[in-house]
């Protein structure tokens, strides 16, 4: 498909313009930095894009301010009383200083107990919790990959989890390898599943083309809702494209 990308600057804001074979103009603001992206039909020129952005400046700035606020909230100290998310649910963190090995336990009443050694500092506490998220996520992924690689009829040679700043998932098409963002452990499992499907569909279609959307519609009819949920603001500073 014929897709062309470039950037323009409107009133000091950098705007990513994607020109492709679509009927309507779509404008979006993405966290964390408030990146502005406009997808426009092929026939719409930059002057028209500029005008569209200017008429929506109030909306754009409202979203950018919202993301900036979330960025501030997202600083974590890993102390008792903080909210932390796991599989889309909010938990109250309860830090327990003790002498045994560090570990994490989740309680039904909505608390995550973080057991650390006496004198552990913020980065040590963060490391223990992050390792726990990683183990939880790594346990959730294999059944989902197994389910979807046969549904989509693709091969996955390798997968992994890593902390990424700007992407929920990455697909290396030639190596049939996918990477999933560690942050997905904090989101509902439906969101994790959506990202897995998205990355596996890339094995059939490299670009976010119309064909890609059609394949997504076919395999996961409600994928747009899941994407929305994934990018919803509640959990803080992560987001993203993929
Ligand atoms: Zn993609």
Over the stretch 184-212, which tens digit does the pLDDT of each residue have?
999 999 999 999 999 999 999 999 899 99
Segment 149-156 mean pLDDT: 97
| CA quadruple 6, 67, 112, 162: dihedral, nearest 10 | 10
Token digits of residue 79: 């102390």
Per-residue b or e along 53-75, where b marks 16 or more CB atoms closer than 10 Å to that residue's CB? beebeeebeebbeebeebeeeee
Task: Give the phi and the psi of residue 115 in degrees, each rounded to 5.
Answer: -95, 120
160 CA → ligand 1 middle, Å: 16
202 CA → ligand 1 middle, Å: 6
184 CA → ligand 1 middle, Å: 16
What is the length of the chain? Answer: 242
105 CA → ligand 1 middle, Å: 34
71 CA → ligand 1 middle, Å: 24
CB 226 within 8 A of CB 194: yes
The residue with greater pLDDT, 241 or 22, is 22
Element (H, E) at 23: none
Helix, strand or coil, per DSSP, at residue 26: strand
Q: Which pairing describes strands 89-98 and 111-117: parallel, antiparallel, or unpaired?
A: parallel
Nearest to 39 by CA among 10, 63, 4, 12: 4
Whether the per-residue pLDDT at 241 is higher than 80: the answer is no
234 CA → ligand 1 middle, Å: 23
The CB density around residue 3, as the number of other CB atoms within 10 Å, is 14
Q: What is the pTM of this model?
A: 0.70
Round to whole Å and give the CA distance between 194 and 222.
9
38 CA → ligand 1 middle, Å: 17
179 CA → ligand 1 middle, Å: 12
pLDDT digits (tens, 9 = 90+) for 111-144: 999 999 999 999 999 999 999 999 999 999 999 9
242 CA → ligand 1 middle, Å: 4
Give the per-residue pLDDT at 150: 97
Give the per-residue pLDDT at 234: 39
Round to whole Å and give the CA distance between 162 and 5.
28
Round to whole Å and give the CA distance between 165 and 160.
16
199 CA → ligand 1 middle, Å: 6
240 CA → ligand 1 middle, Å: 11
Q: Which pairing describes strands 35-41 and 111-117: parallel, antiparallel, or unpaired?
A: unpaired
Return the minimum-mean-pLDDT range out of 105-109, 116-120, 166-170, 238-242.
238-242
């Amino acid at each position: 498909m014929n897709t062309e990308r470039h950037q323009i600057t409107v009133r000091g804001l950098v705007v990513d313009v994607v020109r492709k074979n679509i009927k309507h103009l779509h404008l979006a603001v993405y966290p964390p930095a408030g990146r502005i992206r406009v997808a426009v039909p092929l026939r719409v020129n930059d002057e028209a894009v500029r005008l569209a952005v200017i008429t929506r400046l109030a909306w754009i700035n409202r979203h950018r301010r919202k993301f900036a606020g979330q960025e501030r909230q997202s600083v974590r100290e890993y102390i008792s009383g903080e909210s932390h998310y796991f599989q889309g649910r909010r938990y109250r963190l309860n830090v327990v200083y003790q002498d045994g090995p560090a570990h994490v336990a989740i309680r039904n009443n909505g608390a995550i107990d973080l057991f650390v050694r006496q004198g552990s500092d913020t980065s040590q506490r963060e490391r223990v919790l992050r390792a726990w998220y990683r183990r939880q996520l790594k346990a959730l992924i294999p059944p989902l990959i197994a389910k979807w690689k046969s549904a989509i009829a693709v091969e996955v040679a390798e997968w992994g989890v890593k902390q990424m700043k700007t992407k929920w998932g990455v697909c290396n098409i030639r190596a049939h390898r996918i990477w999933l963002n560690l942050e997905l452990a904090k989101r509902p499992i439906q969101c994790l599943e959506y990202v897995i499907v998205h990355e596996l569909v890339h094995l059939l279609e490299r670009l976010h083309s119309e064909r890609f959307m059609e394949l997504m519609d076919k395999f996961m009819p409600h994928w747009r809702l899941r994407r929305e949920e994934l990018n919803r603001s509640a959990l803080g500073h992560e987001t993203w494209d993929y």
